[in-house]
Amino acid sequence: MRISTTLPMTEAGVPDIAMARRLEDLGYDAVSMADIITGDGSPAFDPALVLAGAAAVTERIGIEFGVLTLPLRPTAWVAAQVQTLQHLSGGRVVLGVGIGGFPGSPFWRAVGAPLRGRGRRTDAALRVLPGLVRGEPTEVEGEELSLAPAAPVPPILIGGDSEAAMRRAVLYGDGWVPSLIGPAALAEKAVRLREIAGELDRPVPSISIGGHAILVDDPAAVESFTRSLVEVHGMAPEEATAVPFTGGPAQVAERLHAYSEAGADTAGLSLDGGDWIRQAEVLAEARALL
């Protein structure tokens, strides 16, 4: 099973780029960076810049947007960034995209991002991004442009739990990325994903689950995380307690296997809590047990 995770923060509160090499040595398939700039004072970093730093200190590991908010940025600019990262990394980019979870935040308003029609804007971007990255003459916002030098189009993963996101993944993506979902619910969604692909006469996308792991003995961190799922995301308490990955390598491997049986071939987990290095080792050990 393919695995990826995010970088830890340094004591100064910035992404620890050097830890991308540690993930590469541990056999991770990708290092990922989320796109969560809100402008309300919450710490956040531009994912393209962080991933460029990770690409510069590694040689093999994938460089993954997990996920990039397309309606927040001009499509041509996104294409230029992806094209550049493909050249800087030697073709290691994985482009996870979504419609965005923070519309109406101060950052969205400041950059003039649309609050309505985000799905339509995302679909329009996905229709032209491959051609732009390949360097083909492409019309964007009424302007024909060609970006050079051309680069390989990276795998495109579509984030979101809704049926609209699943349909978007079938139409424009190589994979679908639901998050905060249990194996049983994922198995049901996987059936529907195959149905949509059949209806549209398209290949069935791969499935990558996004989630969180607390792989150290930190009951307070687990309790805080599950409480946020209930209070912020509206989950039932029994559902929320089943979401985070916890325990040692054998227990984590069992959870990964359950997701694999449900249809997932990739797990992208954010390592919460303390001792990031040990948690990264536990997850790598768990994958080796599969």
pLDDT 10s digits, 190-217: 999 999 999 999 999 999 999 999 999 8
Whose tokens are 């050079």? That residue is 148
pLDDT at 237: 86
Q: Are the CB atoms for 264 and 255 separated by under 8 Å?
A: no
Work out the average pLDDT over 268-290: 95
Q: Measuring CA to CA, which residue among 243, 27, 63 is closest to residue 154?
A: 63
Q: What percent of the chain has pLDDT over 90?
A: 87
The answer to whether the Cα torsion of 264, 94, 119, 149 is positive or negative is negative
Confidence of residue 233 (pLDDT cuts 50, 70, 90): confident
Beta-carbon contacts of 253 under 8 Å, excluding residues fewer than 6 positions away, are 286, 287, 289, 290
pLDDT at 273: 81
Confidence of residue 242 (pLDDT cuts 50, 70, 90): confident
Q: Strand 138-140 relative to strand 143-145: parallel, antiparallel, unpaired?
A: antiparallel
36-75 confidence digits (pLDDT tens): 999 999 999 999 999 999 999 999 999 999 999 999 999 9
pLDDT at 240 over 90: no
Tell me how far apart the alpha carbons of residues 282 and 290 are, in angstroms, rounded to a whole number.
13
pLDDT at 239: 81
Residue of 228 and 94 predicted with greater confidence: 94
Amino acid, res. 128? V
Whose tokens are 């360097």? That residue is 135
Q: Delimit the domains of the chain by residue range.
A: 2-214+246-289
Work out the average pLDDT over 82-103: 96
Residue of 232 and 260 predicted with greater confidence: 260
pLDDT at 241: 83
Which homologous superfamily does the CATH classification assign to the domain defined by 2-214+246-289? Answer: Luciferase-like domain (3.20.20.30)
Report the SS3 class of residue 50: helix
pLDDT at 108: 95
Q: Of 65-74, 149-158, 177-186, 238-247, where does mean pLDDT reach its minimum? A: 238-247
Work out the average pLDDT over 249-257: 97
pLDDT at 232: 82
Tell me how far apart the alpha carbons of residues 260 and 3 are, in angstroms, rounded to a whole number.
12
- What backbone torsions phi and psi does residue 230 show, to the nearest 5 degrees? -75, -50
Work out the average pLDDT over 137-147: 96
Average model confidence (pLDDT) across the chain: 95
Work out the average pLDDT over 3-32: 97
